[in-house]
Amino acid sequence: MDNETPAPDPADNRLPGLLQKFDEATRTLAQAPGFAKPAKLARVLDTARRVMLQPGGCAAIEERSQALEEAGLYHGSDWATPQILVPSLTTHSLKSPDMTTVVIESLSELRLLAVARGDYLHPLISQEQAHHYLSQVLAMNLALLFTGPSEAERETQGRLAKVPRLLLQHLASRIGYEHVIDRLIEEIWRILHQRPIQVDSVKQMITQIAICQVDPDIDLGTSGQGADRLVSSLYGPTQSCREDPGVAVFADRLRAMDSQALQLEATGFARAMHDTGLVSPYHAVLLRHLMGQGDHLIGEALGLSSTGRDCLLCYRELVKDLIREAVHPTTPQSVYGLALMLERGILYQPAVAPSLWRQLALPLSPCSRDRLFMAYGDLASPRALLLEGVLCMLGQPLGVGQGNNPTCQSARALSMWAFNDPDYLLQMVAWAARDDEIIMHFEGQPISSRESLSGVAGELPMDLDAVSLLVVPHLDRIYAEMGRRCVDRGGDPHRWVNPEFHGWWSGRGFRINVDVGTGLLVDLEDFLRHFYASYHPYYNGNQPLIHPQPAGIAVTDSAGRFIGWHAITILRVALDPEDCMRVYFFNPNNDSGQDWGDGVTVSTAGNGERFGEGSLPFEQFASRLYIFHHDPLERGELADVSAEELDRVIDHIRRSWGAERLPENQLQADPGPQRG
> Given the complex with another protein, which of 98 and 378 has the nearer CB atom?
98
Which residues of the shown chain bind another protein in the complex (CB under 8 A)?
14, 17, 21, 25, 31-36, 39, 42-43, 46-47, 50, 158-159
Q: Are 400 and 197 in contact (CB under 8 A)?
A: yes
Instruction: Name every residue whose Cβ is closer than 8 Å to that of residue 386 and which is 6 or more positions away in sequence.
Output: 362, 364, 368, 372, 429, 433, 466, 467, 470
Minimum distance of another protein from residue 36's CB (angstroms): 4
> Which of 118/158 has CB closer to another protein?
158
Burial 450-477 (b: 16+ CB within 10 A, else e): eebeebbbeeebebbbbbbbbbbbbbbb
Q: Beta 509-512 vs 625-630: how paired, if at all?
A: antiparallel
Burial 484-507 (b: 16+ CB within 10 A, else e): ebbeeeeebebbbbbbbbbbebbb
Q: Which CB sits closer to another protein, 31 or 445? A: 31
Q: Is 81 helix (H, G, I), strand (E, B) or coil?
A: coil
CA angle 588, 281, 403 (to 5 degrees): 20
Residue number with CB closer to another protein (26 or 498)? 26
> Shortest gap between Cβ of 147 and another protein (angstroms)?
23
User: Is the CB of 46 or the CB of 515 nearer to another protein?
Assistant: 46
Among residues 15 and 438, whose Cβ is nearest to another protein?
15
DSSP annotation of 328 reads -
CA–CA dist 284, 305 (Å, integer): 20
Nearer to another protein, 43 or 229 (CB): 43
For the bound state, the minimum distance from the C-beta of residue 532 to another protein, rounded and expressed in Å, comes to 44
**Which one, 10 or 577, has the nearer CB to another protein?**
10
In angstroms, give the least distance from the CB of 162 to another protein: 12
Q: Measured in whole angstroms, how far is the alpha carbon of residue 66 from the centre of its chain?
A: 34
Q: Which is nearer to another protein, 18 or 524 (CB)?
A: 18
Closest contact distance (angstroms) between CB of 75 and another protein is 13
CA distance 264 to 250: 15
- Please report how close the Cβ of residue 69 comes to another protein at its closest, in angstroms: 20
Residues present in the chain in total: 676
Q: How far is the CB of 373 from another protein (least distance, A)?
A: 28
Q: CB 151 → another protein: shortest distance, Å?
A: 17
Task: Give CA–CA dist 177/471, Å, rounded.
Answer: 42
What distance lies between CA 662 and its chain's CA centroid?
A: 31
Number of continuous H segments (helices) and E segments (strands) in the chain: 31, 8
Q: Which is nearer to another protein, 12 or 217 (CB)?
A: 12
CA dihedral 26→27→30→33, nearest 10 degrees, is: -120
Q: How far is the CB of 114 from another protein (least distance, A)?
A: 25
Alpha-carbon dihedral angle through residues 347, 351, 355, 356, given to the nearest 10 degrees: 10
- Rounded Cα gap, residues 312 and 325, in angstroms: 16
Residue 160 or 480 with smaller CB distance to another protein: 160
Q: How far is residue 105's CA from residue 420's CA, in Å, rounded to a whole number?
A: 43
Q: How far apart are CA 112 and CA 129, in angstroms?
A: 9
Q: Toward another protein, which CB reaches closer, 21 or 288?
A: 21
Q: Which is nearer to another protein, 11 or 256 (CB)?
A: 11
Least CB distance from residue 211 to another protein, whole Å? 32
Q: Which of 404, 239, 394, 194 is nearest to 311 (CA)?
A: 394
Rounded to a whole number of angstroms, the minimum distance from the CB of residue 159 to another protein is 8
Answer for the pair 146, 212: CB distance below 8 angstroms, yes or no. yes
Amino acid at 118: G
Q: How far is the CB of 80 from another protein (least distance, A)?
A: 17
CB of 649 to another protein, least distance (A): 36
Helix axes 281-290, 259-276, angle to 10 degrees: 140
Q: How far apart are CA 77 and CA 134, in angstroms?
A: 19
